[in-house]
Amino acid sequence: MKAFLAGFAAIVLSICAAVAAVPAGAAQKARAPSFLVHANVFNDRGFTVPNALVRMRRAAESNWRWKAVSDGEGEIALHVPPNDLYVLRVDAKGYQVLTQNVDATQTDNADIALHLAPIGGGKTQ
């Protein structure tokens, strides 16, 4: 029994030593740096707009590469590669399309309020 306990203790100690030798976070996949775009979509009366389609592309490209749909509180969040210029587009039923430039070269995030105008220029009911 002593030999069994000694062998078991040696195995446990070797596992502990191996775990201690692994750098913290090495077991997790490395994440590429990103630029966070957090936006709130509002109508002309200041109410949030759920289900708005928000798309982004690099300013130098024509294809929309990232997209999100605003939640019940009009919020979206997108992660895009940092150090570039982007164009953001918002489409929502009953509202004019909104486009806005986003500069991801100076900071690591943008917090944007997006105010949509109703189609026809009148006030939202």
CATH number for the domain that contains residue 48: 2.60.40.10
Inter-residue contact 51 to 41 (CB < 8 Å):
no
Confidence (pTM): 0.72
Residue 20 lies in a domain: no
**Domain tally for the chain?**
1
Residue 106 lies in a domain: yes
Residue 68 lies in a domain: yes
Note down the domain range covering 102: 35-115
Residue 78 lies in a domain: yes
Q: CA-to-CA distance for 86 and 74, rounded, in angstroms?
A: 21
What digits encode the pLDDT tens for the residues 9-42?
A: 556 555 655 545 555 555 556 677 899 999 999 9
Residue 76 lies in a domain: yes
